[in-house]
Amino acid sequence: MIEMKNLVKKYGGKVVFSNFSLSIQQSSIVGLYGRSGSGKTTLLNLIGGLDLPDSGDILVNHKKLTKSLSELADYRRTYLGIIPQSFALLNFKSAFYNIALPLIGKAGKEEIEKEIEILSEKLEINTLLKDRPTELSAGERQRVAIARAVITKPAVILADEPTSALDETTQSIIKDLFLQEQNRGCTIIFSSHNKTFGEFADKIIQLP
């Protein structure tokens, strides 16, 4: 359960959130909509601990989010699966390594290989695992980023425009994946420009 109470976020003089409150139930799928610049990424960053609010609180399972960078890193590592708008892949590493990154040191080689095999087949990137992100199309890179976020079976997935580079067929693959994740108890918060992608969401938040 994630609660946001009276969030205020400004960049210089520009107010993105003046008094924003939102409560997200566990195992729900929440879609964030709004024009470009309406604050979708900002909100996801606040939840992901990548940015701090000027005032107001974010509570995760009734616990206030820490301000310590190292504790926030631990929170992301153990609790979240993040799909950044820019994908944020390591360009000098193979797609396989990028997907495996969160599991390195946590799981054995065989286990990692098995997980990636299943996931990459589902996302139709199983033939691209040896390639580097620079050799992939935007849509393929986006799916690598999605696989990387999902592979740890996180409690919460934060997906910033996860289908921005995908065609409709592939979008439905992502939709299925999200629903499957929801079934195992995962909370999914995504942003999108595309209203049709959000039809399966439990809750739609329209940012002004």
Partner 1 sequence: MRECVRNDVQRNQRNFLILIVINTLLFASIYFMSVYEFNFYGFYHASLPNKQKQMMLIDYSGKFTSDQAVPLINTDQQMKKSKLFSMYEMYDQFIEWVHYSGPDKFGDGYEEGHFQGEKSVYQYNGKTYASTSIKSTQLSLNCFSKFSLQTDRGRGFQESDYNLHFGDTVPVLLGHEFTETYKVGDQFKALYLFSLFNFEVVGFLKEDSYIKQNGYGPASYLDRDVILPMFNITDSPKNQDDAFFRTLHYSNKTSCLLEYDSSVTAKEIAEELNRISSSNGLPEYQKYKVTEDGLAQISTNQMYRALSVGKWLVFFVCMGTFILLINRQIKAHLVDYTIYSLFMSYQKISLSLMLEMTACILASTFFTILIILALSKSLMYAGELLLSSGLLIVLLTVYIYFKMQHVDLKKYLVEGEQND
Ligand X SMILES: Nc1ncnc2c1ncn2[C@@H]1O[C@H](COP(=O)(O)OP(=O)(O)OP(=O)(O)O)[C@@H](O)[C@H]1O
Q: Which residues bind ligand X (CB under 6 A)?
A: 11, 14, 16, 34, 36-42, 85
Nearer to Mg ion, 128 or 157 (CB): 157
The first and second tokens of residue 205, run together, are: 């938040």
DSSP-based three-state secondary structure for 172:
helix
CB of 52 to ligand X, least distance (A): 12
Look at strands 2-11 and 14-24 and give their pairing.
antiparallel
Q: Which of 1, 73, 118, 138 binds partner 1 (CB under 8 A)?
A: 73
- Give the single-character DSSP code of 131: S
- Give the single-character DSSP code of 66: P
Q: What whole-number distance in Å separates Cα of residue 145 and Cα of residue 10? A: 29
- Give the single-character DSSP code of 84: -
Nearer to Mg ion, 45 or 152 (CB): 45
Which residues in 102-121 contact partner 1 (CB under 8 A)? 102, 104-105
Amino acid at 23: S
Q: Which of 4, 31, 32, 41 binds Mg ion (CB under 5 A)?
A: 41
Site for partner 1, rule CB under 8 A = 41, 45, 50-51, 69-70, 72-74, 76-77, 82, 84-93, 101-102, 104-105, 134, 148, 152
